[in-house]
A = this chain, B = another copy of it.
Amino acid sequence: MHDSHTAPHHLEFMREAIALARANAAAGGRPFGAVLVCDGRVVARAVNRILETHDPTAHAELLAIREAAQALGATRLDGCTIYASGHPCPMCLAAMHLCGVAGAYYAYSNEDGEPFGLSTAGVYAQMALPPAQQRLPLMRLLPDGEAGLYAQWAQRA
């Protein structure tokens, strides 16, 4: 993504992500679109599908990652770049980290989204707190006699 040879395409990819967002909004969906690019080529395009699928994880970036992985037949997307119309939420940013996405661009910031209820800055703020102070308590609970799961898995043939 730092290759000056491909830099001129950045704006085209972002315009496509925004066009997807506009089309989704016009169709009654939420105004988010994403384009996933590997080796200078678009391998996945997606829009937010929460309203039509009732799936709260159906963000454009997450769906683009899933679609790209299917298209490439790989669970790793090392070196790929995502162009998202809106600032990625922490779920989507973490998904990018997990599968090796190299970088991401966004057009609309969380500040842009705030007046319209389209910011995820609050979730970032929650996750920046120590676990015990987050609104969502994350607690350890290991029942007796349940140790050894990972070691057993590691010994698989």
Contact = CB atoms under 8 A, between A and B. Distances in A.
Copies in the complex: 2
A8 interface: no
A61 B28 CA distance: 29
A98 interface: yes
27 contacts: A1-B137, A15-B146, A18-B143, A18-B146, A18-B149, A22-B149, A22-B152, A25-B156, A54-B70, A54-B75, A55-B69, A56-B65, A56-B77, A85-B149, A88-B138, A91-B92, A91-B95, A94-B123, A96-B136, A103-B139, A104-B136, A105-B139, A105-B140, A106-B141, A107-B149, A108-B149, A115-B150
Interface of A: 1, 10-11, 14-15, 18, 21-22, 25, 28, 30-31, 50-51, 54-57, 62, 65-66, 69-70, 73-77, 83, 85, 87-99, 101-109, 112-113, 115-116, 118, 120, 123, 126-128, 134-143, 146, 149-154, 156
Given A18-B146, A91-B91, 15 more contacts: A11-B143, A54-B69, A55-B69, A56-B77, A56-B98, A57-B62, A90-B94, A90-B97, A91-B94, A91-B98, A94-B127, A103-B136, A103-B137, A107-B141, A116-B154
